[in-house]
Chain A
Amino acid sequence: MATRYAHTTCGIRILLKYKVFTLFMMILVSHFSIAEEDPYLSAISSEAEKVESAATPPSSETVEAGEMDGPSLQAFEEDLKTRYMGSFTFYKKLPRRSREEVFEEYRGGASIDEIRKKIMDRFLNQ
């Protein structure tokens, strides 16, 4: 009985020893692979901090001098009326909510062509 117990204990010890060894090797290998990638990743990361977040180019269609907070509704309607009378006519026939939606999109940076398409879309799908 005592011999069997001694054998079992010895077996467990050997097994544990190998498991610990395997674990040690795994940690070592993963440590090496991380160490290989890490300097590059950290260099990339610190370089990224130097970049200013900005979309380019600023849209000349929507942002004009003195209108950095966005064009007013009046300026938008005036511009539409002067340049695209047809679109303006349909725009005026839209319900108030749709007109607001069109204007919001314009302020949001949509181009005049996108705005005109939207006006027609809203007009035809009232």
Chain B
Amino acid sequence: MNGFYLGVLLFLSCFFSLQVFADELQLGEEMAVKLTADKATLHVIHDGRSVKVQRVQDPEYVLKGYYAKTARKCPPFCLQPMQVDPRVATIGEIELFEFMETKLRDNQGLLIDARTEEWYQRGTIPGSINIPFTVLSKVGSAESDEALKRFGGKPRGEVGAISKKLEKMGIFGSDNKTEKWDFNSAKELVLWCNGPECGQSPRAIKGLLSVGYPADKIYYYRGGMQLWQLWGLTTVVPGE
């Protein structure tokens, strides 16, 4: 008898899951402004809760407020080059959506808001954690080391002279290793800040490169908060 009820519950559960999925698809069909041609929304975990990322559906929506500004004093807020470093890939929104749905969801990547905390507290891209550039550019500090551990870097401790020699000779694998860090299990990172006029994430990226963080595991979202908001994409205010 219990088996019967269990079966009924399982059936209901499957039925409603399918129903929810079908309704989500229908909702996607209804949306006029999708994220991409075949994706209406996506979900990311932010601060332990699921946040739906979508675009503003109002076709008359116009960006207002700080991020609508087209001019800031330069220096210090100068336009940044497309590439922070020739080894680091620059990405756009589509690649960021994909990152959110794959690496970030699978805990193989981190989305880093590299701005100072006061910026982060005023709103951020869902799924981001705040590691200010001041931490990442302070190479060798306890804070920087802590951040590198959080990114999956492993401190190597004392490396023997023979091991060093063998690594140099290529007998021991030395890929993604420095004297101090082993970055073989390091996560992929997407760093961003306020947009093309912001130098905070480029500084953070330079800090990471200077400690030997593998460049192929770092991505620069140059559009940052300004372009994210320009496209009417969801933002969250931490703690709300």
Query: Which chain A residues have a beta carbon within 8 Å of chain B's beta carbons?
Result: 37, 39-41, 43-45, 47-48, 50-57, 60, 84, 86-87, 111, 113-114, 116-117, 120, 124
Contacts and interface: CB of A to CB of B under 8 A. Distances in A.
A56 B56 contact: yes
Q: Which among A45, A47, A60, A116 has the highest number of chain B CB atoms within 10 Å?
A: A47
B46 to A, nearest CB: 11
B23 interface: yes
Interface stretch (B90-98, B182-190, B207-215, B231-239): B231-239
A56 B77 contact: no
B237 A114 contact: no
Contact of B52 (A44, A111, A124): A111
B19 A86 contact: yes
Interface stretch (B79-87, B99-107, B116-124, B151-159): B116-124
Contacts, number: 83
A52 B66 contact: yes
B16 interface: yes
Given A47-B72, A48-B122, A50-B66, A55 B240 contact: yes
Contacts of B67: 51
Contact of A56 (B20, B229, B240): B229
Contact of A53 (B24, B57, B72, B237): B237
Tell me which of A40, A44, A50, A124 has the highest count of chain B C-beta atoms within 10 A of its own C-beta.
A44
B76 interface: yes
Contacts of B24: 113
Given A45-B116, A113-B24, A57 B55 contact: yes
A60 B52 CA distance: 12
A43 B77 contact: yes
A111 B24 CA distance: 11
Interface of B: 9, 12-13, 16, 19-20, 23-24, 27, 50, 52, 54-58, 61, 65-67, 72-73, 76-77, 115-116, 118-119, 121-123, 134, 199-200, 229, 232-237, 240
A113 B20 contact: yes
Given A56-B235, A86-B16, A47 B77 contact: yes
B99 to A, nearest CB: 21
A118 to B, nearest CB: 11
A44 B200 contact: yes
Nearest to A49: B118
Given A52-B66, A53-B122, A124 B116 contact: no
B123 to A, nearest CB: 6
B13 to A, nearest CB: 6
Contact of A117 (B20, B116, B122, B235): B20
14 contacts: A44-B119, A45-B118, A47-B72, A48-B118, A48-B119, A51-B119, A51-B123, A54-B235, A56-B232, A56-B233, A57-B54, A116-B16, A120-B16, A124-B12
